[in-house]
Amino acid sequence: MSLVERFKEYVVQHRLFTHDDRVLLAVSGGVDSMVLMRLMQDAGFSFGVAHCNFQLRGAESDGDELLVEQEVARLGVEYHVTHFDTEGVMDDTGESMEMAARRLRYAWFDELCVAHGFKVVAVAHHLDDSIETHFINMLRGTGLRGLTGIAVHNNRVVRPLMFATREEILTYACTCGVPFREDSSNRSTKYLRNRVRHEVVPKLKEINGHYINVMSRNLSRLDEAQRFIDASVANIKRKVLTKGDNDYVLSVAEIDIALPRNFVIYEILNSEFGFNGDVVDDICGVLDCGASGRRFYAADWMAVVDRGNIIIAAKANDVEQDALELCVGVDVATIELGDHVMSFEYLDIERITTLNQGADVALLDADRLSYPLHIRVWRDGDSFVPLGMRGHKKVSDYLVDSKVSVVAKRGQRVLLSGNDIAWLVGRRVDNRYAITQNTKRVLRVSMD
């Protein structure tokens, strides 16, 4: 069976796209992507081409762009090209070249898909790339997911050459006259991938002449094992992971004792929130010690061990204790607090029909308050007189007694009248500022 027939069969088998879909093809000018472009043309699929010039190799980068432009013109397909100041971005963000280039190109691909109606983005990774990724991840340290190689599809990104080897692709290019350019950096062994490709893989091929076939079967079995684990963890997750208003709670005690606890925690924290293995190991170590309060970070999430549970919240909710204090004058009607809005409404006592307004509403005696009011995150040493009590209670003790999570505790706000806490926001009014039978004017404060 020819390479183009195998290509069409692979696309159909893995449901990557159809002849009715518009496909955005990422073409660098290298042999893999240039062959992919020819296969797409010969197979009759509808596609446009996107080329990124990262301006990292001077004239060599410009030569790649010229080759792609000439071949696209010859084939008569839609063409998009962009230039990135990659080094400038690296200076600004501190990212590695690989990370900066990856982020830039995939963000641009997403923009093109939205603007021009492309359903998927096809990239030219192949079987050798996937095998190399297996060994790279093994050397760096990874879970099973990292050993499965490169995924055939990931959201809108598809890889229709994953059935083919580098040798098959090069043979096709030479036989069919597909033009291509070789990136000189592919020969440099300063990159880990190139060291694996040029130093490790040849040794393995010497040991086993069927190395490619064996590794292809290994990756397939590992992928099947990972998919089985994913299905199993999804069932466990429904039992142990619950979503609150601003966070998630992973109830460690709910994990079946017959299961490998740390592995289950890793699978949930890694797949759902992006925590890497080393961080999860540290989290599990804190669980073993019975400690609480230490924070751990992923790209967008923060995790805290709290009384044997793991609380996960968005980094944006990681409120510092010295967060900005807000001033609220008498004429203020609303104020934004993160994703919430606090509203202030002055009412005559006759309009108050019930004292039970819910935790997110405070009814305060407006004439006892000292203006302007202030809002801030609670601090160590803060105390108030909870409604129904006479003596002071420390805010920290009140939150502990109320079993408030560590994450929620850090973001707990107070509404101040002078130096007094008038309302522990969302929880309890201070007895000194509560409405009474003598109240004439009420300040109704609510959180939406």
Is 301 inside a domain boundary? yes
- How many angstroms separate the CA atoms of 7 and 3, rounded? 6
Tell the burial category of 183 from Cβ atoms under 10 Å away from its Cβ (0-12, 13-18, 19+): middle
Q: Which of 153, 178, 181, 158 is nearest to 168 (CA)?
A: 178
Instruction: Specify whether 46 is located in the same domain as 178.
Output: yes
Query: In whole angstroms, what is the distance from residue 413 CA to residue 336 CA?
Result: 13
CA–CA distance, 288 with 219 (Å, rounded to integer): 34
Encode the chain (448 residues) as per-residue pLDDT tens digits: 899 999 999 999 999 999 999 999 999 999 999 999 999 999 999 999 999 999 988 899 999 999 999 999 999 999 999 999 999 988 888 888 888 999 999 999 999 999 999 999 999 999 999 999 999 999 887 788 889 999 999 999 999 999 999 999 999 999 999 999 988 777 777 778 899 999 999 999 999 999 999 999 999 999 999 999 999 999 999 999 999 877 899 999 999 999 999 999 999 999 899 888 888 998 999 899 887 777 788 888 888 888 889 999 887 655 444 445 777 877 778 887 766 788 898 888 876 655 556 778 999 999 999 888 889 889 888 999 999 888 999 999 999 898 887 777 878 899 999 999 999 999 999 999 999 888 888 999 998 8
* pTM > 0.85: yes or no: no
Contact between 71 and 179 (Cβ < 8 Å): yes
57 and 176 share one domain: yes
Using CB atoms within 10 Å of the CB of residue 233, give its burial: 0 to 12 exposed, 13 to 18 middle, 19+ buried.
Answer: buried
Residues 34 and 152 in one domain: yes
- CATH number, domain at 333? 3.50.40.10
- C-beta neighbour count of 210 within 10 angstroms: 10
Range of the domain at 73: 3-218
Q: Are residues 259 and 392 in the same domain?
A: no
Residue 440 lies in a domain: yes
Residues 209 and 260 placed together within one structural domain of the fold: no
Domain-located, residue 223: no
Q: Where among 317, 334, 357 does a domain terminate? A: 317
Same domain, 274 and 342: no
Determine contact, residues 377/320, Cβ cutoff 8 Å: yes
Same-domain pairing of 100 and 207: yes
**Rounded Cα gap, residues 364 and 441, in angstroms:** 9
- 229, 267 contact by CB (below 8 A): yes
